[in-house]
């Protein structure tokens, strides 16, 4: 490693021009007005509360929210992975989720239940969201849905 490295310096008489900046006026044509889609979630009617039975509108909305949460190490959502053991919706729209993790030493053991609580609590119509983390029965790959097994090449 006795080679000497030489630093080369290039001098410019002027800097190259900057690319043009994006402008809102350029994105929206004069005849078109952007729809106010950012209020859709607030303006949608809230799902009718279910009385704990499977299949109510609120129950299905909670399941849809759970399917949007992905395990960071496995490219499958936590519902299809079989990490959700139960979802109970009370008459006053309180939701209790019973879940587990793939292992007690899971790197997201501290953050995943909080994320589930935030996502379920943000579903329109949910009063209070509660997450119960359990280790019994332990999770095993047989709890995964067929879609998850197919995604992971286990079928």
Kindly report, residue by residue over 55-66, the tens digit of the pLDDT. Answer: 578 899 999 999
3-state secondary structure of 143: helix
**In this predicted structure, what is the pLDDT of residue 88?**
92
The pLDDT tens digits for 71-111 are 888 889 999 999 999 999 988 889 999 999 988 888 888 88
**In this predicted structure, what is the pLDDT of residue 57?**
85
Tell whether the model's pLDDT for residue 21 goes beyond 80.
Answer: no
**In this predicted structure, what is the pLDDT of residue 118?**
93
**In this predicted structure, what is the pLDDT of residue 26?**
63
CA distance 121 to 124: 8
Q: 124 and 61 in contact (C-beta within 8 Å)?
A: yes
For residues 7-30, average pLDDT: 74
**In this predicted structure, what is the pLDDT of residue 132?**
93
More confident site: 62 or 54: 62
More confident site: 16 or 86: 86
**In this predicted structure, what is the pLDDT of residue 98?**
94
3-state secondary structure of 125: coil
Tell whether the model's pLDDT for residue 116 goes beyond 90.
Answer: yes
Question: Average pLDDT of the chain?
Answer: 81
What percentage of the chain has pLDDT greater than the value 70? Answer: 77
């Amino acid at each position: 490693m006795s080679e000497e490295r030489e630093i080369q310096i290039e001098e410019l008489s002027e800097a190259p021009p900057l690319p043009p900046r994006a402008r809102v006026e350029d994105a929206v044509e004069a005849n078109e007005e952007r729809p106010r889609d950012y209020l859709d979630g607030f303006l949608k009617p809230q799902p009718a509360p279910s009385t704990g039975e499977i299949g109510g509108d609120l129950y299905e909305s909670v399941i849809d929210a759970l399917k949007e949460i992905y395990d960071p190490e496995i490219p499958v959502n936590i519902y299809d992975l079989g990490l959700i053991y139960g979802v109970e919706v009370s008459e006053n729209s309180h939701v209790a989720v019973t879940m587990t993790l793939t292992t007690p030493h899971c790197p997201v053991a501290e953050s995943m239940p909080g994320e589930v609580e935030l996502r379920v609590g943000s579903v329109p119509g949910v009063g209070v969201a509660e997450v119960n983390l359990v280790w019994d029965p332990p999770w095993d790959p047989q709890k995964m849905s067929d879609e998850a097994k197919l995604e992971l090449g286990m079928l």
